[in-house]
Chain A
């Protein structure tokens, strides 16, 4: 309780950050994907972990993901100010300074890597450090503003968490964890390009060389279909590995047929038709892509649960 009025604090920043703004720096929505996929990677691994250690590992992987999000917001503040979708983020809106975002990003990076190493093993910790480097430097600094393939290569950063979860439990890499990586890696381009199609002018205004800007919308529609076709063998292949089983295979087949139909619809549409119905098909495809990944990883989880009852698996 203080006896002070507004005139006494006129020198303070009008938009001074609350705790929630620092949480927003960590991109909580992206973090939820990281948490879920890392959790699945850790649980389906053949080496059991103590539940408390497993929970802390997930927490530090999520913090590492959050740290790379903060570094991304620090570096991208200039283009975030231009894009409608990102203009209200803590840095472009002025609630958090760029220096603070950098400090939070660097501090949390070091902290999460060291703590993951102490909680599980140093291979997993180095893997997390590499993932942060990949997202913050390779994607944000090198690729995002220089090539329309930014989403394709940068998507690897979002695909590493299940491999890190697996590495926490096993201390290494195997075909199962590589297939989980490949599933997210191949899913990312159609997911983001669908978003780029209906967030029409954002990327153009910011000068980000999104495929929609450099190659046009028709080419982007073709790319969505192409990558969705490439995704099918990856998803089915993942279901045929040690973490899969009949249930996972059935889920993979259903989801991929549905996803392919959606991609084919996007490919067949002209820009005029899409504008006329407010990008309804593209928006539906984008929403379904979120469910697609969630259900795929849920199937891996369900298969692991069935195995513990002597059911499921190959």
Chain B
């Protein structure tokens, strides 16, 4: 059975769905990016609980 070409209305609906999908994807990426930036505070992440941090001792001495 041959399919008829899509009606213009369906193309519009498809465009709307794609737009919504891209928007949601962008939102996920923004939240992820913000989380990474907030957690690392712009610095490379370090395992604070398990490494010796000499700068803390320096600060305490001052």
Give A contacts to B, CB under 8 Å: 1-6, 9, 12, 16-20, 22-23, 50, 52-53, 56, 59, 118-119
Indicate if the CB atoms of A119 and B34 lie closer than 8 Å. yes
Partner of A19 from the list B7, B18, B33, B37 (CB cut-off 8 Å) is: B18
Indicate if the CB atoms of A50 and B10 lie closer than 8 Å. no
Given A16-B12, A18-B16, decide whether A52 and B4 contact each other with a Cβ distance below 8 A: no
Give B contacts to A, CB under 8 Å: 1, 3-4, 6-7, 9-10, 12-13, 15-16, 18-20, 30, 33-34, 37-38, 42
A34 to chain B, nearest CB (A): 18
Indicate if the CB atoms of B7 and A16 lie closer than 8 Å. no
21 contacts between A and B (CB under 8 A): A1-B3, A2-B6, A3-B1, A4-B7, A5-B4, A6-B7, A16-B9, A16-B13, A18-B16, A19-B15, A19-B18, A19-B20, A22-B19, A23-B19, A52-B33, A52-B34, A52-B37, A53-B34, A53-B38, A59-B30, A118-B34
A243 to chain B, nearest CB (A): 24
Cα–Cα distance between A119 and B12 once the two chains are bound (Å): 34
Cα–Cα distance between A16 and B15 once the two chains are bound (Å): 12
Q: A3-B4, A18-B16 are in contact. List 4 more A-B contacts (CB 8 A).
A: A3-B1, A16-B13, A22-B16, A52-B37
